[in-house]
Structure 1
Amino acid sequence: MSAIDDMALSDEALEAWMAVKTNPRPLVRTMSALDGFVTAAVTGPRFADPQDWMCPLMGLRRDVLAKGSATDHAVFASLARIHNRIKETLFDRPQDYAPRFATRPSGGIDPRPWCQGFYAAMNLNIKKWKRLLDLDNPNHGLLLPILIYCVDKKGRPVLGKPRPGPETAHFIEHEAYKDIALVIPALRELHYVTHYDPE
């Protein structure tokens, strides 16, 4: 085990911490949303500094590594562990990548928290995502299986109201999210040069 693994919290402890943290609050509150956010940070346009997303995501001060508490350091290590796991999977075994979707109380998959976490990361770096949000961009379709589950700050569907009817409802509830595991490696490929090369 690495030093990061030794310091990191369990998933249950991290989720409990996110649920009660305030002032400032984390941008996400669940492990599924956290997984979506970190996936966007790994696969999307590059942040100038990892702390530009890591600190706001968890509601931590920018000087957390120098002045944070032991718990702050454990949270930061937990986030680094999740980042490394997602990055290593997408680079070494993209065919094994699987989003960490939530499970509904009644059973079945709920992709919404994961997608909303991904969308929160996009909004934190929105200027660099704008190109891909352009409907005329041929790669815009890569975002559709994610954005179909997202709402904006006012609770409105990001892609607009879905077409009414049972076919659309069935597609959203049971089909659309299955494409996310396919588009994430494609997004990583698309942003690879700009993400990992100096600007």
Structure 2
Amino acid sequence: MKFKRRSTGSKTRLLSREQLAIWLDALDPPAAGISTIDGFLAAMAVSPRFIEPEAWMVTILGERARNVLEGTRMAAAIRSILARYEQICDELAESPETYAPVYMRTDDGEVLLEEFANGFFTGMRLALDAWTPFVSDPEIGYPLAMLVGHSSQTGGPTWIDQLADPAAKGALADAWRVVPNIILMVHDRCYETRTDSMIPADLFNPS
């Protein structure tokens, strides 16, 4: 993901969430929606392995995210996505009470967690080996299951669709309320591992 300057000196402005949603919806081939991207960015922000934005932006927007001209709509979209990523990182680190995931909602106001969960799980898959020991820990794995269980990207129907017990299904359907707490918990538990992954390996083995 590299930005090339236009000779006109055009300056890239950020898009509003609504503008970004409209732009994403018009892409051909299509890209993920706002809620899916927000879940993906949350996974990037809390992942036990730090991944450079230049590497993961292609997962969201495809190869068109490479070698982008400044001043274009693509550049504005990328900078807007990066701004949201930085906002999530800052909020989780400095003011976690302000973090609010972006969910899809029906016309009646019902929260749909599936797209956010799909984005989060897609982000996890970029470093699944780093996630494995944390997911294996019940203190993290069980809460994460409340989120990832809504994903339809895990190779089958969502867990909520598989539940026969109406009470259990209702509890999982209401999981969106505790997702901010789950994200914050994972952020804090993975902090040290994520920070270590930012340090070049040769710093541990100076010649």
2:111 equivalent among 109, 112, 119? 109
2:102 equivalent among 97, 100, 103? 100
1:54 corresponds to: 57
- In the alignment, residue 101 of structure 2 is paired with which amino acid? P
Tell me the C-alpha RMSD between the 2 structures. Answer: 2.6
- The yes-or-no answer on 1:144 pairing with 2:150 is no
Alpha-carbon distance, 1:160 to partner = 8.4
Can you list the C-alpha shifts for 1:38-80, whole angstroms capped at 9, x where unaligned? 0110011224422111222122446435x57722211111111
TM-score, normalization by structure 2? 0.78
- The yes-or-no answer on 1:44 pairing with 2:43 is no
Contact 1:32 1:102 in 2 (8 A): yes
- The yes-or-no answer on 1:64 pairing with 2:67 is yes
Alpha-carbon distance, 1:103 to partner = 1.1
Stretches of structure 2 that go unaligned for 5 or more consecutive residues are: 1-10, 201-207
After TM superposition, the structure 1 = structure 2 runs for residues 43-192 of structure 1, keeping only pairs within 5 Å, are: 43-61=46-64, 63-65=66-68, 70-134=72-136, 137-152=138-153, 154-157=155-158, 159=159, 162-173=162-173, 175-192=174-191
TM-score, normalization by structure 1? 0.81
Alpha-carbon distance, 1:6 to partner = 6.0
Distance 2:142 2:60 in 1: 26
Which has the larger Rg?
Answer: 2
Size of the alignment, in residue pairs?
188
Question: Secondary structure of 2:190's partner?
Answer: helix
Distance 2:177 2:61 in 1: 28
Distance 2:154 2:146 in 1: 19
* Structure 1 outlier segments of 4+, above 3 Å: 60-63, 159-163
Distance 1:110 1:96 in 2: 21
Distance 1:7 1:189 in 2: 32
Contact 1:46 1:195 in 2 (8 A): yes
Contact 1:133 1:140 in 2 (8 A): yes
Distance 1:160 1:171 in 2: 9
Alpha-carbon distance, 1:172 to partner = 2.3
- In the alignment, residue 145 of structure 1 is paired with which amino acid? M
Distance 1:62 1:98 in 2: 26
Question: Secondary structure of 1:7's partner?
Answer: coil
